[in-house]
């Protein structure tokens, strides 16, 4: 199971460090931000599994950060839990109405908070919003985003498929296949973060298929970069001999030995 990615947004240094240390010690991959604009940038870059968001931030408060995350296709799916010193019913209703999945008042119990975080992440996965292997949106959320951008001028859908993925899994097992899926998701994030737009969307609708919704002017160039990065990097998931010969040995449906090519990434720009 991959480490859960958590973004903690808190301007109090002591509380921020407490949360960072506690969740890191419990196996989370924790990133932090102290200001709203910094939080938006971090969320776009890392696509966390959940955002733990203080409401009382300077300059741009937590409600405004939440609204911005919900409005952007790339981050709209990320569960948000508010943490706040305000604990009235009206405050809770305001936070939940803004799009948060939970609201926790300060001072909080760390173990209870951790369980709430895990429950929210698992609920998002159970509702078919996130693929647990890659942390990327899946299911109906991908369909909704594709339908939304198809009516917008200048947007393209890049359908990315891992060719020869099934033979690799047949030979090396599902755990190795999951590692390749995580690697593919990492390549997509890094290339889109560097060369795509801030609102570009990455989804994982099927086992060996990813989609990128991009407003980049040079979508063909973006596709070529994705192919090159994946095709070169995926070789690390093969043995030296496999890479040298350029194929793996598998058995066909009749039990006879045959060859399957190394994995590549095909990208169809629609």
The pLDDT tens digits for 86-112 are: 777 787 888 888 889 999 998 899 999
Q: Please check whether residue 88 lies inside any domain of the structure.
A: yes
Q: Which domain holds residue 101?
A: 5-126
Give the three-class secondary structure for 84: strand
Looking at residue 128, its pLDDT comes to 62
Q: What tokens does 157 get?
A: 């859908």
pLDDT digits (tens, 9 = 90+) for 59-86: 899 999 999 999 888 898 899 999 988 7
Number of domains in the chain: 2
Confidence at residue 238, expressed as pLDDT on a 0 to 100 scale: 97
- Clarify whether residues 147 and 51 are in a common domain: no
Give the residue, 149 or 13, on which the prediction is more confident: 13
Of 65, 95, 126, at which residue does a domain stop?
A: 126
Compute the distance between CA of residue 171 and CA of residue 257 in angstroms, rounded to an integer: 12
pLDDT class for 3, splitting at 50, 70, 90?
Answer: confident
Separation of alpha carbons 52 and 220, rounded Å: 37
> Which residue's entry shows tokens 């506690």?
22
Residues 33 and 104 in one domain: yes
CATH classification at residue 99: 3.40.50.2300
| Contact yes or no for 124/77 (Cβ under 8 A) | yes
- Under 8 Å between Cβ of 85 and 56: yes
Question: Is the residue at 132 inside a domain?
Answer: no
Do 262 and 147 have their domain in common? yes
What are the E-state strand segments in 85-226? 102-105, 156-163, 201-206, 209-214
pLDDT at 1: 57
Does 122 share its domain with 68?
yes
What is the predicted pLDDT for the residue at 18? 96
Q: What is the pLDDT of residues 184-241, one digit of tens each?
A: 999 999 999 999 888 899 999 999 999 999 998 899 999 999 999 999 999 999 999 9
């Amino acid at each position: 199971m991959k480490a859960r990615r958590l973004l903690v947004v808190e301007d109090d240094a002591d509380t921020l460090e407490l949360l960072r240390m506690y969740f890191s010690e419990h196996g989370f991959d924790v990133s932090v931000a102290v200001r709203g604009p910094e939080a938006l940038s971090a969320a776009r870059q890392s696509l966390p599994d959940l955002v733990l968001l203080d409401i009382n931030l300077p300059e741009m408060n937590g409600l405004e950060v939440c609204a911005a995350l919900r409005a952007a296709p790339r981050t709209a799916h990320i569960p948000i839990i508010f943490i706040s010193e305000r604990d009235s019913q009206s405050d809770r209703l305001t936070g939940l109405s803004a799009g948060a999945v939970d609201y926790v008042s300060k001072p909080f119990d760390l173990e209870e908070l951790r369980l709430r975080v895990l429950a929210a992440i698992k609920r998002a996965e159970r509702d078919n919003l996130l693929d647990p292997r890659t942390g990327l949106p899946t299911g109906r959320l991908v369909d909704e985003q594709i339908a939304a951008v198809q009516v917008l001028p200048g947007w393209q859908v890049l359908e990315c498929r891992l060719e020869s993925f099934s033979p690799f899994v047949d030979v090396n097992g599902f755990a190795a296949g999951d590692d390749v899926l995580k690697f593919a998701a990492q390549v997509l994030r890094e290339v889109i973060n560097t060369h795509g737009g801030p609102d570009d969307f990455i989804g994982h609708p099927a086992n060996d298929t990813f989609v990128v919704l991009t407003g980049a002017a040079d979508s063909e160039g973006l596709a070529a970069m994705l192919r090159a990065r994946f095709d070169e990097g995926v070789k690390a998931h093969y043995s030296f001999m496999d890479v040298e010969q350029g194929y793996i040995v598998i058995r066909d449906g009749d039990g006879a030995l045959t060859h399957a090519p190394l994995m590549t990434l095909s990208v169809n720009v629609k």
